Amino acid sequence: MTRPRDAPEPAPRDRYPDALRAVALLVVVFGHWLATLPRLVDGRMVSTEHLLTVWDTAGVLTWFLQVVPLFVFVSAAVSADGAARRLSERSSQLSWWAGRALGLARPTVTYLAVLSVLVLISVVTGARLIGPLDQSLTVHLWFLLMLLAVQALLPLSVRADQRFGLGAVVGLVVIAAAADLLRGQVTSVAELLTLGEQVTTSRPDLGWTNLITVWLLPQQLGIAWRRGRFGGPRTGAGFLVLGGVWLLASVASGYPVAMVGGDLAGGTNVLPPTLALIGVMWLQVGGVLLFEGPARRRLEGRRIGGVVTVLSVLSMPLYLWHKLAELPAAWLGEVLGAPIDAGVPGEAGFWWGRLWWVVLCIVMVAPVLAGVVAFESRRRRDVPVTTRRRSAWLGGTALMIGIVAALVLGARPGAFLGLIGVAAASWTLRDHPRIAARAGT
């Protein structure tokens, strides 16, 4: 179908958000590989550790490697205009979110199906590599869960921006602060100096409100940025200063240095999110604004623009499958006798071992990614999305339950249970005209 001569030229795609999202996911991928510490006995991997469990100083690295807020910020900026157009039609909003959920469910079904087969093979044959990497193979799925939740609230965030402007951002910060103050049972100004210590040593009950509040903040900021409510290198420098001061003050008050962690008892800045994590968001927004001008000029070049396009296409598949590449990477490391054992952080061989491990992961993720891309390219892309409210909510709920099962239970048995939930979601979120017709008769 040809475009009429008098039709306006389509607006050129803004490559800057694409580049930011691709870079964010690449940083997460390399950060995950860097944080996985293989432990070998007689040249065979018997377990893994997380970098932060053996080296507290590495927590500072997470100030730059925890870039999930950046992804949420940019995604909201890209989606803001479309969400605003759909505000008058509730069915359109639900259909959009169902489409996003289906877009995440379909590749996740493939991932969990492959992982389930590998787990089954390991059980039958007694293969041991699944064991040391059990939890590691599903832990990264938390990002999909968080993304689904905040995107479901995108219309609410757009409305908040339309009504309150930057006041909506301030409101979220105030709510997050109130949650930490209540959680830490602060009763005097003097106790503010040890707020972080009081928060992370108390029960996290009240802090779980920040599981939504804090992750909505980068979304609200992204919408405001898209609407031109703030911008420019000076504002970016101001955000960078604010973020630096915020993080230093947070650590001084007793909040953990690391901006990642899976301690469900509340001893981290992530479960539930704390005020300290907001400092990372200020830093990232500052970087986006400060480097926007030079980055956009560089992205005008055809060569780098092509690289960004390729990375944009590969970034989400790479994120979903990069942890699975650790299995063949460990096998190859054993076969080659590579020094992938992490040793002791700070010693001379530590970073050499980290380099070997990351290189092996890159080598082994390439064929995995090639197979995934080849498979996904053959799948039908224009899958119709359900327009029925009940189906959308049931599908979204099944998707979240499936991801939670895989996340909490690990590859064994989480892959099997997660596959059931995510597969059910993938089916429910699609439009089935024949079934709907029979239901209507």
**88 — pLDDT class (breaks 50, 70, 90):** low
Mean pLDDT (whole number) for 343-360: 88
Predicted local distance difference test score (pLDDT) of residue 344: 84
Q: Which of 81-90, 269-278, 290-299 has the lowest mean pLDDT?
A: 81-90
Mean pLDDT (whole number) for 279-293: 96
Residue-wise DSSP of 272-326: TB-HHHHHHHHHHHHHHHHTHHHHHHHHTSHHHHHHHHHHHHHHHHHHHHTTTTH
Mean pLDDT (whole number) for 202-206: 85
**115-127 per-position pLDDT tens digit:** 999 999 998 988 8
Distances in Å between the Cα of 416 and the Cα atoms of 114, 118, 395 are 10, 11, 18
Mean pLDDT (whole number) for 300-322: 85
Q: Give 261's contacts (C-beta < 8 A, 6+ positions apart).
A: 52, 267, 268, 269, 270, 271
**438 — pLDDT class (breaks 50, 70, 90):** low
**203 — pLDDT class (breaks 50, 70, 90):** confident
Whole-number Å distance between alpha carbons of 15 and 312: 10
Residue 111 structure tokens:
């991932």
User: 289's torsion region: left (phi>0), alpha (psi -120 to 50) or beta?
Assistant: alpha
Predicted local distance difference test score (pLDDT) of residue 12: 61
pLDDT higher than threshold 50 for residue 1 = no
Residue 298 structure tokens:
């560089």
**437 — pLDDT class (breaks 50, 70, 90):** low
434 versus 394: the higher-pLDDT residue is 394
Average pLDDT, the chain: 89
Residue 335 structure tokens:
């076969």
Mean pLDDT (whole number) for 47-75: 91
Predicted local distance difference test score (pLDDT) of residue 7: 43
pLDDT higher than threshold 70 for residue 272 = yes
Q: What is the CA radius of gyration of the chain?
A: 23
**432 — pLDDT class (breaks 50, 70, 90):** confident
Predicted local distance difference test score (pLDDT) of residue 213: 95
Predicted local distance difference test score (pLDDT) of residue 91: 57
Residue 377's CB is within 10 A of a number of other CB atoms, namely: 9
Mean pLDDT (whole number) for 379-394: 85
- In 3-state terms, what secondary structure has residue 48? strand
Predicted local distance difference test score (pLDDT) of residue 310: 84
**4-39 per-position pLDDT tens digit:** 444 444 456 788 999 999 899 899 999 999 999 999
Strand 44-50 and strand 36-41: the pairing is antiparallel
Residue-wise DSSP of 82-133: HHHHHTT-HHHHHHHHHHHHHHHHHHHHHHHHHHHHHHHHHHHH---TTTTT
pLDDT higher than threshold 60 for residue 43 = yes
Taking the domains of the chain in order of start, what are their residue ranges?
A: 15-431
Per-state percent for the chain, helix, strand, coil, to nearest 5: 75, 5, 25
Q: Which of 81-90, 142-151, 247-256 has the lowest mean pLDDT?
A: 81-90
Nearest CA to 150 out of 262, 45, 281 is that of 281
**441 — pLDDT class (breaks 50, 70, 90):** very low
Whole-number Å distance between alpha carbons of 406 and 419: 8
pLDDT higher than threshold 90 for residue 76 = yes
Predicted local distance difference test score (pLDDT) of residue 219: 97
Residue-wise DSSP of 384-412: PBP--HHHHHHHHHHHHHHHHHHHHH-HH
- In 3-state terms, what secondary structure has residue 168? helix
Distances in Å between the Cα of 301 and the Cα atoms of 280, 288, 307 are 30, 19, 10
Q: What share of the chain has pLDDT > 90, as a percent? A: 63
Mean pLDDT (whole number) for 396-406: 95
Predicted local distance difference test score (pLDDT) of residue 93: 73
Predicted local distance difference test score (pLDDT) of residue 346: 75
Q: Give 179's contacts (C-beta < 8 A, 6+ positions apart).
A: 206, 207, 209, 210, 213
